[in-house]
């Protein structure tokens, strides 16, 4: 599939996916005959997608970035999810040599000191493993929702990821958090117990705090930084590459 094909596919797919249910969205891309990868952080949105993939036995590779700094609750949920849905979640980990080089330059927790140091850590622990996870994939599925933050308010169902040269699909783009919670309750989906302790968005343990009442869902991520658009780099290209925001 060429870049032009992918861009055209994104435009077409974006319009088509808007008319489908979540199960239909996932089934449709799973039936395209290309490698489809779903990256899960084990957050509540991602658990909904995993439940659909597992329950419908869809041929979609489920992977997670095991950064080495995750909460124990998240690690336990990976195993619980695999067991409940009889699936395998492939862990992609950082290279030890990269971690050592980072620690030598910035210190193991150097990410608190500067944006540059934080991006470097996310680069080593997330972006490089993500590149390996997506190697050979044509479609990348994420759990992005428009309601998660102002930065994600225009999230389309499908977009061309120019940096990774693939088609990124966001099948929960139009779901709100109440719909997510209802799905989880109705379908006994296992979720991270941290959500009930004030963590709507969960990443690495040293970079995530509980939010206060009234704060945006992602306010607890890299809370010490002032940039309202702070992200880890996985999804920063979304605005530039969105081909047909809904
Ligand atoms: S979220 Fe924090 S610990 Fe995790 S990779 Fe990024 S900077 Fe490093």
Å from CA of 95 to ligand 1 middle = 14
Q: Per residue in 3-53, pLDDT tens?
A: 446 666 788 888 899 999 999 999 999 999 999 999 999 999 999 999 999
Where do the domains of the chain lie, and which CATH numbers do they carry? 3-241 (3.40.50.620)
Ligand 1: residues whose CB is within 6 Å? 67, 69, 111, 118, 121-122, 125-126, 203-204, 206-207, 232
Does residue 244 have a pLDDT over 80? no
Q: Per residue in 166-194, pLDDT tens?
A: 999 999 999 999 999 999 999 999 999 99
Å from CA of 211 to ligand 1 middle = 18
CA distance 111 to 148: 23
Q: Whose CA is nearest to atom 5 of ligand 1?
A: 122
Residue 122 labeled ligand binder = yes
């Amino acid at each position: 599939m060429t870049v032009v094909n992918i861009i055209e596919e994104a435009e077409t797919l974006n319009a088509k996916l808007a008319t489908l249910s979540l199960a239909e969205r996932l089934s449709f891309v799973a039936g395209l005959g290309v490698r489809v990868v779903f990256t899960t952080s084990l957050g509540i949105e991602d658990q909904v997608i995993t439940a659909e993939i597992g329950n419908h036995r869809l041929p979609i590779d489920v992977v997670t970035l095991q950064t080495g700094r995750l909460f124990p609750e998240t690690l336990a949920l990976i195993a619980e999810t695999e067991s409940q849905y009889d699936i395998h979640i492939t862990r992609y980990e950082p290279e030890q040599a990269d971690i050592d080089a980072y620690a030598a330059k910035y210190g193991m927790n150097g990410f608190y000191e500067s944006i540059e140091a934080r991006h470097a850590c996310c680069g080593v622990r997330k972006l490089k493993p993500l590149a390996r996870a997506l190697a050979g994939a044509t479609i990348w599925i994420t759990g992005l929702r428009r309601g998660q933050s102002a930065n994600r308010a225009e999230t389309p169902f499908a977009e061309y990821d120019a940096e990774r040269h693939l088609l990124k699909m966001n099948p929960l783009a139009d779901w709100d958090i109440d719909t997510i919670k209802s799905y989880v309750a109705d379908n006994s989906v296992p979720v991270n117990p941290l959500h009930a302790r004030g963590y709507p968005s969960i990443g690495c343990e040293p970079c995530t705090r509980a939010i206060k009442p009234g704060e945006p869902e992602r306010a607890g991520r890299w809370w010490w930084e002032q940039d309202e658009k702070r992200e880890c780099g996985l999804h920063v290209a979304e605005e530039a590459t969105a081909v047909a925001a809904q």
